[in-house]
Amino acid sequence: MSKNLEKKSRKTNDKKIEKPMPGRSTAGKCRRRKNRSFRKMILFVSCIIAFTLMFSLILMRNSSSSVVYAEEHLSEIQYKLVEIEYGDSLWSIAEDNITPGFEDIKEYIQAIKECNQLTSDQINYGNYLLVPYYEVL
């Protein structure tokens, strides 16, 4: 009897009632959409974490070369005179003379500039520079 009532109510209603395909419901569609967006979010977060880890490892690897180890005992700072040859720059002189005890080459160039009271990076060949260094004991 209830089947007859359902048929009558469907016939009186002008709108066509769409039935979901067998085995699929409208709730399932919403669930699939949520799952897709959840998967995309998980993928995005995973990519961010992977990128952060790679960036951290690169920074750690590059910074380890300028570390002064505790077992290296450094003397007091020493100074030597270096003649500026044709084509030399502060950078090339710093590369040739840097020793453990300086953080990096930029810090070492700044120390050379301070020792020689230089206000710019310009140097002239034939002159001498006072260059600081540490001896490892």
Supply the CATH number for residue 96's domain: 3.10.350
My answer on whether 97 and 129 are in the same domain is: yes
Residues 98 and 120 in one domain: yes
pLDDT of residue 76: 83
For residue 68, pLDDT over 70 is answered with no
Any domain includes 71: no
Q: How many domains does the chain have?
A: 2
- Round to whole Å and give the CA distance between 58 and 51: 11
Would 3 be classed as within a structural domain?
no
Average pLDDT over residues 6-21: 54
State whether 44 and 89 are in the same domain.
no
Check whether 45 has a pLDDT greater than 80. Answer: yes
Threshold 0.85, pTM exceeds: no
Q: Verify that 87 and 42 share a domain, yes or no.
A: no
Is 83 found in the same domain as 129?
yes
For 46-88, the three-class secondary structure string (H helix, E strand, C coil) is HHHHHHHHHHHHHHHHHHHHHCCCCCCCECCCEEEEEECCCCC
Domain, as residue range, for 47: 26-64
